[in-house]
Chains A and B, each alone.
Chain A
Amino acid sequence: MIINVARKELKSMFASPMGWVILSLLMFAFGTYYLNGVNDYFAVMSGAMRPAERTGVTQFVGQNVYGFASFLVLFAVPLLSMRLISEERRNQTLPFLFSAPISLTEIVLGKFLGLVIFLSILVVFIGLMLSTLNIWADIDFGFIIANSIGLTLMIASFSALGLYFSSMTQQPVVAAILTFIALFALMFLDRFFAGDPSNTLASLSLTRHFQSFSGGLIDTADIAYFGLFIATFLTLTVRRLDADRLRG
């Protein structure tokens, strides 16, 4: 049943040009970064004389692309997540889902999954794009896999938060703005505490937990952080929708 809701969401994302446009623009941006990364690699490495200064091509280009990707989804996710619930609320289509034999949890999970699957297309494409380096060089697939997992988790966290804000309002634009502000604050929280990295608030920052993945390290602590983050906002969304049913 979760899958059926997710399929519906995917279908509606591809039914409007919005989904295609966002996907293609993002891929264009990533492609440009990839090209620049490869060009820069030769420029930088030809100047690096000592072996210690040299880094692998995967890491050099990969960090370039994945770093940019984690920043760009900050704009892409609010645009896509805003309509998930708020638009249904505005068009009064929620009763369609509420009166079907599916639970609220299934509805929320389905919508969440739909968005994550949609955005995972980007993660897959980035991975494929970087893998093409293997034609000329011997690349580090572990690095790409770690980064892909990190990026997917980050996208999923963004989506969960976006879904929650979308459930709070009838206006998609309001949801997008709120999501963007919240994500922006969470992304750059560690910058505010740059002088005191051990601060508890700083460790709430999403960027900090993405950092280990971007270095090629899969850390269970970070996976747990993203997992909890997603679970929290999905639970809040279910509760918000349940309040609709109770308060009317």
Chain B
Amino acid sequence: MMNNFTVEAFELTRLYGGREAVSNVSFNLSKGQVLGFLGPNGAGKSTTMKMLTGNLAPSNGSVKICGIDMMENPKEAKALIGYLPEMRPLYKEFTVDEYLTIAARLHRVSSGNIKKAVEAAKERCGLGHMSKRLIENLSNGYQQRVGIAQAIIHSPMVVILDEPTVGLDPIQIRDIRALIREVGSERSVIISTHILPEVEMVCDHVQIIDKGKLVFNGAIDVLKKQRIGNKLLIGMHNMPGTEAVLQIAGVVEAEILPGNLMRVRFADDTSPAEAIVQAATNNGWGLYQIAPDQTSLEDVFVQLTYQEQAVTESVAA
């Protein structure tokens, strides 16, 4: 094999009655990477995932899993993928053990290893004490765990999870994120989500899809930089004018918000927070709050998805 790509998507396009649900999506994913798909509802995230897993035939373009073409060799390619669709494909009349055994068997786990694989998957997803329960009787969160267990049971090279943390409580979400990171360290993981901080926590790579088009494709660091970024939110009882704040070294932009708040943008590689506090005490501005402005990731997202002329930037790592 020439390269180490586990997933190669080339100009994926999907038409629904002439309307392009996904158009010209191309990307590569290497071993040990976690890719996050972001996008508003109906952007084409799930459609792209269905095409990657061979559940849907692309109208144009191709998918390769570890160098194996999905169109030409679907069985071999599918054997390398573990997939959890948005709607969990659970047979509710089975117990957890029965269901996972069937999943293992269908995914070519050799009959001697099935028991071991089932136990390992249950342990990783925290399902150990649920073995004999009917899936129907499990809570939403546990059903989601069964769905994830089903996707990783055959230790696939590529794990594709469509909104894996939906319906979970915060502790479960934390566990699942840890699991995704763990799986992602040795294999490749693709997840889709609406939750922006989640992307930041688990993904190395981000793709933002809007109206079927890839509007951003790059390393998480690029987004992170903008988020941890360059904005401060300052709360003051005696609000000074923007000119006074602009005089502090490093501050580039200041904007007064309702509720005695001010948003300050500063130049890269400077940290004017200390100077601002100093100035506030000296001038009696009545400073009661100063914090990094956390909204910028959302801003980036909104910017990218709602701009008509979004820049398709490609910062390949």
Which residues of chain B have C-beta atoms less than 8 A from A11's C-beta? 94, 98, 102
CB-based contact A99/B78 at 8 Å: yes
The docked-state distance in angstroms from the alpha carbon of A205 to that of B211 is 53
Which residues of chain B have C-beta atoms less than 8 A from A5's C-beta? 106
B221 interface hit (Cβ, 8 Å): no
A47 interface hit (Cβ, 8 Å): no
Closest A residue to B83 using CB positions: A99
The docked-state distance in angstroms from the alpha carbon of A16 to that of B134 is 12
Within 8 A of B (CB), among A1-21: 1, 4-5, 7-8, 11-12, 15-16
CB-based contact B16/A101 at 8 Å: no
A181 interface hit (Cβ, 8 Å): no
Within 8 A of B (CB), among A76-103: 91-103
B224 interface hit (Cβ, 8 Å): no
| Contact string against B for A residues 85-128, beta-carbon threshold 8 Å, 1 for contact and 0 otherwise | 00000011111111111110000000000000000000000000
The docked-state distance in angstroms from the alpha carbon of A98 to that of B74 is 10
Segment with Cβ contacts to A, from B1-9, B52-60, B166-174, B301-309:
B52-60
CB-based contact B81/A99 at 8 Å: yes
Interface residues on A, range: 20 to 34
Q: A248-B14, A248-B56 are in contact. Are A12 and B93 (CB under 8 A)?
A: yes
Which residues of chain A have C-beta atoms less than 8 A from B93's C-beta? 12, 15-16
A50 interface hit (Cβ, 8 Å): no
Which residues of chain B have C-beta atoms less than 8 A from A95's C-beta? 50, 53, 55, 83, 85, 87, 89
CB-based contact B57/A246 at 8 Å: yes
B288 interface hit (Cβ, 8 Å): no
Number of interface residues of B (CB under 8 A): 32
Which residues of chain A have C-beta atoms less than 8 A from B79's C-beta? 101
CB-based contact B98/A98 at 8 Å: no
B107 interface hit (Cβ, 8 Å): yes
CB-based contact B106/A93 at 8 Å: no
CB-based contact A102/B54 at 8 Å: no
Which of A12, A92, A94, A97 contacts B94 (CB under 8 A)? A12
Which residues of chain A have C-beta atoms less than 8 A from B107's C-beta? 100-101
CB-based contact A248/B90 at 8 Å: no
Which residues of chain A have C-beta atoms less than 8 A from B98's C-beta? 11
B150 interface hit (Cβ, 8 Å): yes
Which residues of chain B have C-beta atoms less than 8 A from A7's C-beta? 102, 105
Which of A12, A94, A99 contacts B53 (CB under 8 A)? A99
Identify whether the interface residues of A are mostly helix, strand, loop, or mixed: helix
CB-based contact A102/B75 at 8 Å: yes
CB-based contact A98/B102 at 8 Å: no
Which of B83, B85, B106 contacts A92 (CB under 8 A)? B85
CB distance from A8 to the nearest CB of B (A): 5
CB-based contact B105/A98 at 8 Å: no
Which residues of chain A have C-beta atoms less than 8 A from B78's C-beta? 99-101
Closest A residue to B81 using CB positions: A99
The docked-state distance in angstroms from the alpha carbon of A101 to that of B92 is 22
Closest B residue to A100 using CB positions: B106
Which residues of chain B have C-beta atoms less than 8 A from A92's C-beta? 85, 87, 89
CB distance from B275 to the nearest CB of A (A): 56
CB distance from A112 to the nearest CB of B (A): 17
Which residues of chain B have C-beta atoms less than 8 A from A99's C-beta? 53-55, 78, 81, 83, 85
The docked-state distance in angstroms from the alpha carbon of A100 to that of B180 is 21
Within 8 A of B (CB), among A42-98: 91-98
CB distance from A98 to the nearest CB of B (A): 5
CB-based contact B94/A248 at 8 Å: no
CB-based contact A245/B105 at 8 Å: no
The docked-state distance in angstroms from the alpha carbon of A7 to that of B106 is 11
CB-based contact A101/B108 at 8 Å: yes
Which residues of chain B have C-beta atoms less than 8 A from A4's C-beta? 102, 105-106
CB distance from B109 to the nearest CB of A (A): 11
Which residues of chain B have C-beta atoms less than 8 A from A100's C-beta? 78, 103, 106-107
| Contact string against A for B residues 105-137, beta-carbon threshold 8 Å, 1 for contact and 0 otherwise | 111100000000000000000000000000000
Which residues of chain A have C-beta atoms less than 8 A from B55's C-beta? 95, 98-99, 245
CB<8 Å pairs between A and B, sample of 10:
A4-B105, A11-B98, A15-B94, A91-B89, A93-B90, A95-B83, A99-B81, A101-B74, A245-B54, A246-B57
B residues with CB within 8 A of A: 14, 16, 47, 50, 53-57, 74-76, 78-79, 81, 83, 85, 87, 89-94, 98, 102-103, 105-108, 150
List 16 additional A-B contacts (Cβ < 8 Å) besides A12-B93, A92-B85, A97-B106. Answer: A1-B106, A8-B106, A91-B89, A92-B87, A93-B91, A95-B55, A98-B54, A99-B53, A99-B78, A100-B106, A101-B79, A101-B107, A101-B108, A103-B74, A245-B54, A248-B14
For the complex of A and B, 10 pairs with smallest distance between CB atoms: A96-B89, A101-B79, A92-B87, A100-B106, A93-B89, A15-B93, A99-B83, A101-B78, A95-B85, A101-B75
